[in-house]
Structure 1
Amino acid sequence: MGPWGLPLLVATLAGCLFPTRGCVICDPKVREALNSLEMDYLPGHLEANHQKKVMEKIKQAVEDFKDLPFDEDSYMGVVDEATLEKASWSLLKDMKRITDSDAKAFCPNKCGLMLQPLIWCSTCQKQVHTCRKSKNCGEREVKVHQMEDMILDCELNWHKISQGLTDYSFYRVWKNNSETLVSKGKEPVLTKTMVRPKDAGTYRCELGSIQSSPATIIYFHVTVLPKRIQEEIPSPNTETQDETALGEVALDLPHTTVEPQTPKPEQLLRRRLFGVLIWGLVVLTVCVLTAILFSRSGKVVDFIKSRFSSGSRAA
């Protein structure tokens, strides 16, 4: 958005207010919104040398409407509270719509060369504006552990809206300031898998443009840290003690106590039933043997009695 586009837009929006438009400057909420526009919004969307002039024109455009009567019977210099609230609400809504649109000003790039397509209000023609700033966009520290992936991201937020950009080139910078090309292409990220200590050092990323000067240059200082130590958790089925070879003495080995396993209820019931069955068979066997013994002892007594009586008769 050009330096004069914003006040003209606000002035146009103010022209769509209810009657008594000029009185909206009396509403504290309007004054607060104008102050927020000046202190919070414009610094990030407009160059510093234009901010004061823009705010003066915005405030003057809002105040000037009190001098423009609608008809012969209207007077803009007085208003009731209900009408002031409606008029203020209309202006605040339109101002919020402007700030929420996040319109960008000239050259949003903080570094590098940006070719920004713009529409020139005087001719309504689209042209490419060259935003020239320091091509060195700083240095970044990257730390990665050994055997992990190294990722160097060279993309800045304004690269996607800039025109005339070509390829990203990644170079390895050596101690004697010589360079080796690592990769080149449209991809802004360099990824190297399973890095080793020899991969530590300085890398340079350069984004080309259709002009002779590169768009951006970023340096990466890579430090390769030792490999991460991963603690292994033993499986429940893994033995906790190593087998000691014959003739060796195991020192400071924890003694594992094997707790007796408690039989399940089904096993206890089976054991009790089996015991009752055994005892029943024993008792039955004893009863049968006792009966047989008693029956045989009765026959022996009868035999003795018969022999004794026959002997008496013979005498």
Structure 2
Amino acid sequence: MGPRLPLLVAALASCLLPALGCVICDTKVVEALNSLETDYLPGHLGAEHHKNVMERVKLAVQNFKELPLDEDSYMGVVDEATLEKASWSLLKDLKRITDSEVKGELLVKELFWMLSLQKDTFAKYVAQFQKEAFCPNKCGMMLQTLIWCSTCEKQVHACRKSLDCGDRKINVHEMEDMILDCELNWHQASQGLTDYSFYRVWKNKTETLVSKGKEPTLTKTMVAPKDAGTYRCQLDTVKSSPATIIRFHVTVLPKRIVEETSSSNIPSQAEVAPDEITWGLTKPSTTLQPLSSQSPKVENMLGNLLAGLLSWGFMVLIASITIL
């Protein structure tokens, strides 16, 4: 976490004695507790118990802060995403209780059992934040908006590490595209970032600005040997100081050799018979076949018609003889 972390832990420890619980910093939680007191308790708990129960409930929520002060578990600060998750979990369980219409002593037991479980859930979320989301930068300077549980105020915390984020070796073939990527995984979570600036670094240590803007990558198409060398990327912040610095050492390799293969569907001259080659052209592979004057189906039709006519003529002849 860096050398400044123990000082931050000590500072937090000194101010957390009168602190509020972080969950109570969410206005939605405050509104839900007020609704529990004014809307739900009057019809589900004796009036003589209202004040005592609500005092204990609010104290239990405030005591979510009573976690071990440790850089891996709790330091008295959370980010907005962690507070949102913890608040949503508490509100969901509180609504489940009020929707059940539970009353009396059972209501009191349900409330405090739920708050005990939610405190464990809050501790889990905060530990995850401390491990993964609090100052996740391994190098550079990250500006992070945090909620301080002691006052429920938002403050920007600067997590400072070495600005030098190392060197990258890039190999690219001639006539292909060179892409230099300056973005680190924590950049999008950081506050107050401005522009990425890419510089060409020459052998005499001078630099030439190549590009500047919001895009974290520098792309050069169809590179040539003259594009080989050292490049430097710098991400600036609103505080006029760089957040990260990365150097790229680019090597331009020879152009890739692409082997051309002939199509297997085109026969070579050796595969064509000699008698099929005439003046460098191959004869068509198909020849015209003579058509028969009549197909078998037509012949059958004519034969049946002729037989029918003969039969009809014979019957007419017999009828004529009989009449005579």
What's the TM-score, normalizing by structure 1?
A: 0.49
* Structure number with bigger Rg: 1
